[in-house]
Structure 1
Amino acid sequence: MRVALLAESFLPHMNGVTGSVLHVLRHLERQGHQTLVIAPKAGEVTADLHGARTALLRSVPLPSYPQVRVVFARVARLATLLRAFDADVLHLASPFVLGWQGVVVADALCIPSVAVYQTDVIAYAQKYGIPQASAFAASHTARLHRRATLTLAPSTSAIQQLEGLGVDRLRRWGRGVDAERFRPERRSEHWRGRVAAGGETIVGYVGRLAPEKQVEDLIALRDLPGVRLVIVGDGPSRSALERALPGAVFTGHLSGTELAETLASFDVFVHPGESETFGQTIQEALASGVPVVATGRGGPVDLVRSSVDGWLYRPGDVADLRARVSDLVGDPSKRRAFSAAARASVKDRTWEALGDQLVGHYEEARMLRPIDDAMLARSVTRPAAPSIAEAGPAPRWKRFVALGDSLTEGLSDSSRMPAGEYRGWADRLAQLLAHGNGGSSPFRYANLAIRSKRIHHLLTEQLPAALQMRPDLVSVFMGANDLVGRGADPRALARELEVGVRSLRDAGCDVLLVTPFLPRRRAAVLFARTFAEFNSELRRVAADTGARLLDLEAHPEIGHIDMWGADRVHLRSRGHRFLAYRAAEALGVPHAEALADLDATLHIDDDEAAGPGWLREHAVPWVWRRLHGRTAGDGRSAKHADYVLIERPGSTRSVPAPS
C-alpha cells in the first residue's frame, strides 16, 4: 500500500502529532508499505524517517506560538504530489489548515482519506480567549471530518465531542506506548538526589507549557510539605510559570532516554489539562510505574483507573487536585500498589498492535471510498453518526411486532436452538425490551417475517396483519431482496416502504426502521450504489415520519465476514447478536452496550462460516429457485403469527392478540 501522511506539524518540533507520525512510519516500513510525508518545513530534519519520502512545504510560525507552523498550500501543489506518489490512501494527522486542503484534494482525486483527530482546537481557542475563533474552529472541524472518508478518535470523550458536531464514520484508535523505553527500571536515584537533595517526594508534570495545558493549576501544590515539584517541557507559558512556582524545578524540553529516566524517577505524575483528546504522557507515566493524578475529563478518563493506578479529580477543582496528590504523597504503600497496577495497565498498548489496527482502518477507507463517490455523484447522504442520546430513554412498550424477510426471521442464528429452528435479532431484541420493561407488565411479541419476501409482501400481507394486532412498537427491516433484483429502482422502493411506515405512524405505533446492508465481499460492490441510494432515502423517511432509525451503514462491523453464516447471505449468531444490541441502543434500552459485551463473553458461536460446500449447498439451490420462479419462503407462514408472551429470559408463551 502507498500511504501519504499529511501532518499539520513535523520535525524538528516534537509533539504528540509528530511522535505518532514517526511511530506510524516505523510500522508501515516494517510491513512493507511505501510512505510519503507532506508537512510544514520548520528546520533541518535529521531523524530516521523509516524510508519515507518527504515533501516539506514552506510555512509560517504562529506569532504567539512560533513552534506551531502553518502551511497555506495550493490545492494544485498537493494534487501534483499525490498524483506523482500514486497514493492509495491519505492519512491526515491532526488536520486543520493543511488538512482541509488535503480532504479537498482527496475528493478531487478519489483517494480515501483517514483523518486522525488529535488536537482539540476548539478548546484551545477557548483557552486563548478567542470566543469567535472557537465557533469557527467547531464548524471547521465538523466540516473537515464529515468530509473525510473515516475519522479516528483516540478516546471516548473525543468520540462524543465529534458526534456532538455531527461527524460520522467514527472509529476508536488510541495511541501506543514504548514500554521498553518507559519502564520502572529507568528510575535514577542519582537524578533524584540532585533534584530533591532533602529526600522530598517528587511530583512531576511533562508536556507543553501553554494555556490549554492548565499547568498553572499546579500552583495549588507549591506549598505541599515534603514535595518537590518538577516541570518538564517548554512553551509560551514557561516564564509566567517560573514566576508563579519559584520553588519548582524546570528542566526544559527532554526526550529519549533522558525523558524516560526523569519520568520514571517521579513519585507522582500530575496532568491538569482538560482539553486532552488522549494524554500520551499519561500512558508513558503509567508505563514507567508512576501513579497518575489527572483531571476527570477528556482523554485521561480512558487511561487512569481511579483508586487502582491513580486518581481522577473533579475538573477545575484545584482543592480536589491537591487532596488527591496529598493522599499519594502521604502513603508510600499506596504509591507502590498503584505503581504495579500502572505498569500492568499498558502491557497490551503497543505501537505494533495500534499499527495493525491503523492498516485495517486504511483498508476500510479504501472499501468505503467507491461508495462515497457513488453517493456524491447522486447527491446521496452519508449515514449520520450513531447516537444513543438521540433515541432517548425507551418507553414502556408492551406489544412489539417485527416485519421483514429472512434476516428478521432469524435464518442462520442457530445458537442454542433445536435443529431446524432459529432465534434471530428480533427475538433477541424482544428479550431485551421485556427486560428493560422491568417485568412490571406483560410483554408481547410477534414476528411476521418470512424469508425471501419483498417490500410489496410487507405492504399487502404483513402490514395489515400487524395493524390488526395493535402493537405499540414495530420494526421494519425490508428491501434487500428487492435491491438485488434486476433493474431495481432504490428511490421508488423507498417510497413504497414509506407508505407502510406512515401507515404505522398514523396508527400510533413507534417504528424502528432498519437500513439493509451488505457483507464486506468483492461481489457486494455490484450492489453498493443501489443500497447506498436506498438507505439515503430511508434516512429521509425516518426524519419525515419520526421513526427511529437504526442506520447500519454507521456500523460497518456488520459487514465483516465473521458476522455472516455459511450461506454468505445471512447473519450467523454473532451477527444477529450485534444487530440486536445496536437496535436496543437505537431504542434507548438502558445499558445495551454493556449487556452486549457481557453477552459476547458468554457465547461461543457453534455455527460455521462459509466453507467449501457453499456452492453446492446454497448457491445452486438458490439459482434453481430463481430459474423456476420460486422462493425459499413459498408455502411458509410467519414465525410468530400471533403474540407470544415473554415472561422471563428465554421463556415465551403463546397468547391471543388483544381485542
Structure 2
Amino acid sequence: MRVALLAESFLPHMNGVTGSVLHVLRHLAAEGHETLVIAPRAGEITTDLHGARTELLRSVPLPSYPEVRVVFARAARLTAILREFRPDVVHLASPFVLGWQGVAAADVLRVPTVAVYQTDVVAYAEKYGMPQASALVGRHLTRLHRRATLTLAPSSASQRQLEELGVDRLRRWGRGVDTARFTPQRRSEAWRACTAPGELIVGYVGRLAPEKQVEDLAALAGLGGVQLVIVGDGPARPSLERMLPSAVFTGHLTGLALAEALASFDVFVHPGESETFGQTIQEALASGVPVVATGSGGPVDLVRSSVDGWLYRPGDLAELRARVADLVGDEGKRRAFAAAAGESVRDRSWDAVCRRLVGHYDEARALRPIDDALPRGVTTRPSVPAPPVERRTWSRFIALGDSITEGLCDTSRMPAGEYRGWADRLAQLLAPTGNGGEPLRFANLAVRSRKVHHVMHEQLPQALSMRPDLVSVLIGANDLVARRVDPVAVAVELERGVRRLREAGIAVLLVTPFLPGRRAAAIFTRRFATFASELRRIAHETGATLLDTAVFLDAEGVPAIADLSLWADDKVHLRSRGHRYLAYCAAEVLGVPDAEALGDLDAALHADDDPVADRSWLRRDALPWVWRRLRGRTAGDGRGAKHDGYVLVGGRGDVRTGANAG
C-alpha cells in the first residue's frame, strides 16, 4: 500500500502529532508499505523517517507559538505531489490548514482520506483569547471531517464532540505506548536525589501552553514533603515559572531521559481539560506511576479512578489538591495504583494500534467508490457496506427487542389480535428449503416498550440458556426518546450483552434503531445518530453482523426506512410493508441469496392488509402513550414474550409450534 501522510506539524518540533506520525511511519515500513510525508519545513531533521519520502513545504510560524508552523500550500501544488506519488490512501494528521487543502487535492484524484482528530482546535481558540473564533473554527472542522472519507477519534469524549458538530463516519483509534521505553524499571534514585532530595515528586510532562492549564498546579503549593517537577517547554514557561516559584522546571526532555524522569515520579498530574487523548498520561501509566487528571476529555478513557489513579471534577482545584494529597500520604495506595497502572497499558503497543490503523485505511478504500457514485447533492453518506456473508444454515434463531421486533402493526394474514413482524419474516427466509433439512427453531423474546436494560436482564439470560446460534438485537429506541439520556452510556450497556453472546460463540445480528421521516422526530436525530455510531463500533470490535439502516438509502440519500409509507398510522411502528422491507434488508446482510430481488417480488405479489390512514392518531395513539408515561407505566406491563420457547419454521415458510420444538 502507498500511504501519503499530511502532518499539520512535524519535526524538528516534537509533540503528540509528530510522535504518532513517526510511529506510524515505522510500522508501515516494517510491513512493507511505501510512505510519503507532506509537512511544514521548520528546520533540520535528523530523526530516522524509516524510508519515507518527504515534501517539506514553506511555512510561517504561528505568532503566539512560533514552534508551530502553518503551511499555506495551494491545493493544485498538493494535487501535483500526490499525483506523482500515486497513493492508495491519504492520512491527514490533525488536519486544519494543510489538511483542508490535502482533502481537496485527494478529492480531485479520487483518493480516500483518513482524518485523524488529535487537536481540540475549538478549545485552543478559546484558551488563546479568541472565543469569537471558536464557532468559525467549529464549522471549518465540521466541513473538513465530513469531507474526509473516514475520521478517527482518539477517545469517547472527542468522538462525542465530533458527533455534536455533525461529523459522520467516526471510528475510535487511540494511541499506542512504547512499553519498552516507558517502564517502571527506568526509575532512578540518582535522578530523584539530584532533582528533589528526600522528597516525593509530583510531576507534569507536556507542552507549556495555555490550553494545558499547568497554572492549576499552583493548588498544590504547601503540600508537605512534596516537590513539584515540570517537564516540558513552550510559550507559557516564563509566566509559569513566576506563578510556580518552588517548582523545578527541567525543560524539554526526550528519549530515555524523558522515560527516566517519568518513571521517577511518585504521582503524575495532568490538569488540561481539552485533551483529545492524553499520551503522556498513558506513558505515566506504563511507567508505573499513578495519575491524577481532570475528569474530562481523553483522560476519562485512560484513568480508572480509584484503580490506577484519580479523576477530579474539572475546575475543582480543591479536589485536585485532595486527590494528590491522598496518594502522597498513603504509600500502600501508591504501590497498588502503580501496579494497576502498568497492567492497564499492557495491550496498547504501537504495533497493535497501527495494525488497526491499516484496517481503517482498508475501510476508507472500500468507502471511496461508494462516495464517488452518490448523486450530486447527496450529503448522507452510507457506512462501509457489510462484506458478503457466506451463506450458512442456521438451526436456532432468537430475536430480542421491543415492539418493533414483537411485530406490532404487522397484521398481514394474521388472526385478529396477532402480529407477524420482521423477525418472524426473517426466520422464514433463514429456514432451510426442501424436504431434506431440519426446520429452523425460532424464538421471539421481544416485548413492547422494553428498553436496553430490560433486554440485558430479562431477555438475554433466557436467550443464552436456549443455546441459539444466531441472535438478532434491535433495541434502544425507547431509551433514546426519554427526556434525558446519554446515548453512549446506553450503547455501552448494550455492548456488554453483545460481548456475552459473542463470547458464547453465538452469531449476532445488530440492528441500528431508526426514526420516521417526520419533522417531530428531528429532535431525536442526533441521539439516534450517536447511538448508531456506537453500534458500528461495537459490531466492528465484536465481529457482530451490522444491519445499518442508514446504509439503505432512497434516491435522495435519505435512509429508506424513514419513508412514511413504511410506517403505521400511530407514527411509532412499522406497517406490514415496513416489516417486510426490514426483514429483507436483514436477510441481505446475513447472506441470503438474492434477498433484494426476493423482497421486490414479495412486495409486488402481496398487497398489505393495512387499514386506511385516519386522523385519529392524537386521540387513539399519542394521548394514551403520554398518559402511560405520566403514570410510570408502559404498554408492555404484564406481557410475556411472543414466542418464549422455540417454534419450528418449516421448509414451506410457515411458523408453527411443535411437540419436539425444544
In structure 2, the partner of 1:213 is 212
Tell me the amino acid that sits aligned with residue 647 of structure 1. Answer: G
Conserved in 2, the CA contact under 8 Å of 1:295 and 1:315? yes
Conserved in 2, the CA contact under 8 Å of 1:167 and 1:384? no
In structure 2, the partner of 1:62 is 62
Conserved in 2, the CA contact under 8 Å of 1:22 and 1:49? yes
Please list, as runs of the form range in 1=range in 2, the aligned pairs for 1:298-377 lying within 5 A after superposition.
298-377=297-376
Conserved in 1, the CA contact under 8 Å of 2:431 and 2:439? no
Please list, as runs of the form range in 1=range in 2, the aligned pairs for 1:141-156 lying within 5 A after superposition.
141-156=141-156
Conserved in 2, the CA contact under 8 Å of 1:646 and 1:653? no
In structure 2, the partner of 1:651 is 644
In structure 1, the partner of 2:73 is 73
User: Alpha-carbon deviations, 1:294-344, whole Å to 9, x = none?
Assistant: 000000000000000000001000000000000000000000000000000
Distance in 1 (CA, whole Å) between partners of 2:292 and 2:360 is 33
Conserved in 1, the CA contact under 8 Å of 2:41 and 2:56? yes
Distance in 2 (CA, whole Å) between partners of 1:435 and 1:257 is 48
Conserved in 2, the CA contact under 8 Å of 1:290 and 1:342? yes
Secondary structure of the residue aligned to 1:263 is: helix
In structure 2, the partner of 1:243 is 242
Alpha-carbon offset, residue 208 of structure 1: 0.4
Conserved in 2, the CA contact under 8 Å of 1:61 and 1:67? yes
Q: CA 1:215 to 1:356, structure 2 compared with 1: closer, same or farther past 3 Å? A: same
Conserved in 2, the CA contact under 8 Å of 1:112 and 1:369? yes
Please list, as runs of the form range in 1=range in 2, the aligned pairs for 1:5-84 lying within 5 A after superposition.
5-84=5-84
Secondary structure of the residue aligned to 2:640 is: strand
Secondary structure of the residue aligned to 2:10 is: coil
Alpha-carbon offset, residue 375 of structure 1: 1.2
Q: CA 1:67 to 1:136, structure 2 compared with 1: closer, same or farther past 3 Å? A: same
Secondary structure of the residue aligned to 1:536 is: coil
Alpha-carbon offset, residue 374 of structure 1: 1.0
Distance in 2 (CA, whole Å) between partners of 1:56 and 1:317 is 43
User: Alpha-carbon deviations, 1:240-292, whole Å to 9, x = none?
Assistant: 11011111100000000000000000000000000000000000000000000
Secondary structure of the residue aligned to 2:440 is: coil
Aligned residue-pair number:
496
Distance in 2 (CA, whole Å) between partners of 1:72 and 1:271 is 33
Distance in 2 (CA, whole Å) between partners of 1:46 and 1:316 is 40
Distance in 2 (CA, whole Å) between partners of 1:106 and 1:154 is 23
Alpha-carbon offset, residue 378 of structure 1: 6.3
Secondary structure of the residue aligned to 1:70 is: strand
Please list, as runs of the form range in 1=range in 2, the aligned pairs for 1:131-530 lying within 5 A after superposition.
131-197=131-197, 199-377=198-376, 379=378, 381-383=380-382, 400=408, 401=410, 403-404=421-422, 408-409=426-427, 411-412=429-430, 419-421=438-440, 423=442, 427=444, 430=447, 433=450
Conserved in 1, the CA contact under 8 Å of 2:203 and 2:269? yes
Alpha-carbon offset, residue 433 of structure 1: 2.4
Distance in 2 (CA, whole Å) between partners of 1:533 and 1:399 is 24
Q: CA 1:2 to 1:186, structure 2 compared with 1: closer, same or farther past 3 Å? A: same
Conserved in 1, the CA contact under 8 Å of 2:403 and 2:447? no
Distance in 1 (CA, whole Å) between partners of 2:230 and 2:516 is 62
Alpha-carbon offset, residue 540 of structure 1: 9.7
Is 1:538 aligned to 2:559, yes or no? yes
Distance in 2 (CA, whole Å) between partners of 1:649 and 1:47 is 65
Q: TM-score, normalised by structure 1?
A: 0.67
Q: CA 1:75 to 1:413, structure 2 compared with 1: closer, same or farther past 3 Å? A: farther
Q: CA 1:304 to 1:632, structure 2 compared with 1: closer, same or farther past 3 Å? A: same
Secondary structure of the residue aligned to 1:537 is: coil
Distance in 2 (CA, whole Å) between partners of 1:419 and 1:644 is 36
Distance in 1 (CA, whole Å) between partners of 2:227 and 2:84 is 55
More off after superposition, 122-131 vs 150-159: 122-131
In structure 1, the partner of 2:389 is none
Secondary structure of the residue aligned to 1:6 is: strand
Q: CA 1:405 to 1:184, structure 2 compared with 1: closer, same or farther past 3 Å? A: closer
Distance in 2 (CA, whole Å) between partners of 1:119 and 1:286 is 22
Alpha-carbon offset, residue 381 of structure 1: 2.8
Tell me the amino acid that sits aligned with residue 243 of structure 1. Answer: R
In structure 2, the partner of 1:571 is 590
Conserved in 1, the CA contact under 8 Å of 2:281 and 2:291? yes
In structure 1, the partner of 2:90 is 90
User: Alpha-carbon deviations, 1:333-363, whole Å to 9, x = none?
Assistant: 0000000000000000011111110000000
Tell me the amino acid that sits aligned with residue 571 of structure 1. Answer: L
Conserved in 1, the CA contact under 8 Å of 2:128 and 2:210? yes
Alpha-carbon offset, residue 156 of structure 1: 0.3
Tell me the amino acid that sits aligned with residue 177 of structure 2. Answer: V
Distance in 2 (CA, whole Å) between partners of 1:41 and 1:303 is 33
Alpha-carbon offset, residue 420 of structure 1: 2.0
Distance in 2 (CA, whole Å) between partners of 1:140 and 1:549 is 38
Secondary structure of the residue aligned to 2:557 is: helix
Distance in 2 (CA, whole Å) between partners of 1:434 and 1:191 is 56
Secondary structure of the residue aligned to 1:56 is: strand
In structure 2, the partner of 1:446 is none
Alpha-carbon offset, residue 196 of structure 1: 1.3
Conserved in 2, the CA contact under 8 Å of 1:310 and 1:338? yes
More off after superposition, 163-172 vs 129-138: 129-138
Q: TM-score, normalised by structure 2?
A: 0.67
Q: CA 1:111 to 1:430, structure 2 compared with 1: closer, same or farther past 3 Å? A: farther
Tell me the amino acid that sits aligned with residue 19 of structure 1. Answer: G
Conserved in 2, the CA contact under 8 Å of 1:413 and 1:423? no
Where in structure 2 are there 5+ consecutive unaligned residues?
385-401, 411-419, 457-514, 522-527, 541-549, 575-584, 610-635, 648-662
Is 1:103 aligned to 2:96, yes or no? no
Distance in 2 (CA, whole Å) between partners of 1:186 and 1:316 is 33
Alpha-carbon offset, residue 395 of structure 1: 11
Conserved in 1, the CA contact under 8 Å of 2:404 and 2:448? no
Alpha-carbon offset, residue 136 of structure 1: 1.1
Alpha-carbon offset, residue 406 of structure 1: 8.4
Secondary structure of the residue aligned to 1:179 is: coil
Conserved in 2, the CA contact under 8 Å of 1:397 and 1:437? no
Q: CA 1:375 to 1:216, structure 2 compared with 1: closer, same or farther past 3 Å? A: same
Q: CA 1:281 to 1:433, structure 2 compared with 1: closer, same or farther past 3 Å? A: same
Distance in 2 (CA, whole Å) between partners of 1:434 and 1:413 is 29
Q: CA 1:644 to 1:287, structure 2 compared with 1: closer, same or farther past 3 Å? A: closer
Secondary structure of the residue aligned to 1:50 is: coil
Tell me the amino acid that sits aligned with residue 169 of structure 2. Answer: R
Conserved in 2, the CA contact under 8 Å of 1:118 and 1:154? yes
Q: CA 1:570 to 1:384, structure 2 compared with 1: closer, same or farther past 3 Å? A: closer
